[in-house]
Structure 1
Amino acid sequence: MFEITPLRYFLSAYETGSISRAAQVNNVSQPSVSAAIQRLERDLGGALFLRSRQGLQVTALGTQLYREAAASVSHLADLPARLRPRVPQAVRIYCHPDMVLAPFAAPLQALTRRRPEVMPEFTDDPGSCDIACIAEPCTPAGYVFLPLWEDSYGVALPVGHRLAQRETVALADLAGAPFIQRPYCPQADMLHLLAEEGLAPGRAGAAATNDPQLLDLVAAGLGVAFVPLRHGAQHAGVCVRPVRPGPQVRRRAGLAHRRTVAARELAEEIAAPLREI
């Protein structure tokens, strides 16, 4: 039965073309590498290398041994790392109420597949999170913001609403409509857009505590709301249409991370497939 250590020394000599370099790679003495190769040659009944002033020349037997052994030795050498219990790494994630988590779902799933030790935990406290899904103005103090995309705003309507079939909606068409309150958004409800046109909204609609809930309320026909245009792809019962005259409000959305190496690396991994800016 072959031992893995002599085979590892042989592979290093094959790949580096030198006994001395193989010894350096494995942090052992040159005699140790030479003795291991000689032992293999005795077991196999033939030379693995021809030694000359130009260095090692691999024999046919040496080439065959390398082809047969390389993958197996590499697999076995990594075995302790694969079997060693992984230390769970809790990652606290905060999602601001005016954000929808759906765009981040696939990158988070990919991250946990690549790094099973990562254990996402969601928190309601932005000051205690490692990573935040957030718009730039809401970035917690001391965190680093990674911009991913820019949003402009439109009006969220139930898919069966009389205005939902239009490509754009005039602000005048929204006069008298019940608006769902969105008090957690940095841009508030943006009802000033109606006021600037001399229009007034209808009765106050329900108040939402976050945008996913707001979209549910819109889909239920309880009112309309000004929201980022990309929210329209996040709920089957809601469409979001641009309004005219169009709002000049835009926001930069992305991730914010704590100023630690681990948080930065995780945020960059999540952000990579999403980055548009």
Structure 2
Amino acid sequence: MIEIKPLHYFIAAYEEGSITAAALRCFISQPSITHAIKSLESSLGVILFERNKQGIRPTVEGQKLYKLATDLLLQNQQLEAAFMPNNKIELHLYIQPDINIEQYCDIIETIKHSSSSINLSIVDSVEQAQLAIIDEQRLSSQFQFKRLNRESYKLVVRQDHALANNNRVRLESFKDLTFIERPYCTNRKAFERLTNEKNISVTYKGKAIHDLQIQGLVKLGLGVAVIPESYIQQDHDLKYISIVLDTPITRSIVLAYRKLPSVLIKAIEEIQHTPLLQEESET
């Protein structure tokens, strides 16, 4: 009998194309992802992924299981909802951990009040969700979506840092800096590609687990960091500096949804979200 949890881990590995990325996404260790996949392969008698230095690539059997697994997990949610008392509609919401949810309070309120029969709960992974506030790059084809915001990234330094008098910096300035790493960043590889193209070796002092912690570590003088502009806060000890790039790096935040009651689909279609922070105009 196939258990549900390994299917969640399999789907994460399938969508991320990497055991490491899947582990970060699911907040578990890499061996746990590997064990879940091997367990599924043993139970089904197939190979689900081809493994190479670049990561993992699904086999034909892996592609087949992905479609069946996503359908199964959604049906499992619907089965539970069908037998809930008081005819409540259980909706599962996933919020990407590095998204500043305070910017989207109006979205959550709209969803909560679209119908008195809706019971909204938070889940740990997008595979469990019918609704998600998420980076578009992390979204599977199972979802429809409505774009909410597009944001760029800023370099955050202490006010007494040598770069604090600048309003803009180029990647070349990164050479002599010590960074706090943001390992969960969707655009991490894009930044790495640009720094590699310019032969810039980035030095990391340590890793953070969320963006508020990053800013605290910067404030302590342990390094600088690159963060999404939605995490800019009023803080006299920090300076946020625009990064000048030949090819701008941004992320698109979306409200994703699938197989929802018609009343909620209508509410989503009517959402007109205004971001609290607007992207700075180029001068």
TM-score grouping bracket, smaller chain normalisation? 0.5 to 0.7
SS in 1 for 2:187: coil
2:187 matched residue in structure 1: 187
- C-alpha separation in 2, matches of 1:134 and 1:150: 12
The 5 A counterparts of 1:135-146 are 135-146=135-146
Distance 1:260 1:245, change over 3 A: closer
Offset at residue 182 of structure 1 (A):
2.2
2:106 matched residue in structure 1: 106
Bigger radius of gyration: 1
- C-alpha separation in 2, matches of 1:178 and 1:108: 37
CA deviation profile, 1:66-94 (whole Å, cap 9, x unmatched)? xxxxxxxxxxxxxxxxxxxx865443221
CA deviation profile, 1:221-264 (whole Å, cap 9, x unmatched)? 33322233333248786543212345532222211112323553
SS in 1 for 2:188: coil
- C-alpha separation in 2, matches of 1:95 and 1:234: 24
- C-alpha separation in 2, matches of 1:88 and 1:268: 22
Offset at residue 272 of structure 1 (A):
2.2
Distance 1:197 1:108, change over 3 A: same
Q: Is the 8 A contact 1:156 1:218 kept in 2?
A: yes
2:200 matched residue in structure 1: 199
The answer to whether residue 151 in structure 2 is matched with residue 155 in structure 1 is no
The answer to whether residue 131 in structure 2 is matched with residue 131 in structure 1 is yes
Cα RMSD over matched residues?
3.4
Letter in 1 for 2:206: A
1:224 matched residue in structure 2: 224
SS in 2 for 1:191: helix
Offset at residue 102 of structure 1 (A):
1.6
1:168 matched residue in structure 2: 168
- C-alpha separation in 1, matches of 2:261 and 2:235: 35
Unmatched tracts of structure 1, length 5 or more: 1-85
Q: Is the 8 A contact 2:111 2:268 kept in 1?
A: no
The answer to whether residue 277 in structure 2 is matched with residue 274 in structure 1 is no
CA deviation profile, 1:170-229 (whole Å, cap 9, x unmatched)? 333322322222222222162343333333223x22223344443443344333222333
Q: TM-score, normalised by structure 2?
A: 0.55
Q: TM-score, normalised by structure 1?
A: 0.56
Q: Is the 8 A contact 1:93 1:121 kept in 2?
A: yes
- C-alpha separation in 2, matches of 1:146 and 1:201: 35
Offset at residue 155 of structure 1 (A):
1.6
Distance 1:222 1:246, change over 3 A: farther
Identity in percent: 22
Letter in 2 for 1:196: E
The 5 A counterparts of 1:77-96 are 88-96=88-96
Q: Is the 8 A contact 2:153 2:226 kept in 1?
A: yes
- C-alpha separation in 2, matches of 1:220 and 1:146: 38
Q: How many residues align?
A: 190
Distance 1:122 1:193, change over 3 A: same
Offset at residue 111 of structure 1 (A):
4.8
Q: Is the 8 A contact 2:98 2:184 kept in 1?
A: yes
SS in 1 for 2:92: strand
Distance 1:220 1:141, change over 3 A: farther
The 5 A counterparts of 1:30-41 are none
- C-alpha separation in 2, matches of 1:266 and 1:221: 45
Offset at residue 168 of structure 1 (A):
0.8
Distance 1:156 1:247, change over 3 A: farther
- C-alpha separation in 1, matches of 2:102 and 2:236: 13
1:78 matched residue in structure 2: none
1:63 matched residue in structure 2: none
Distance 1:267 1:240, change over 3 A: farther
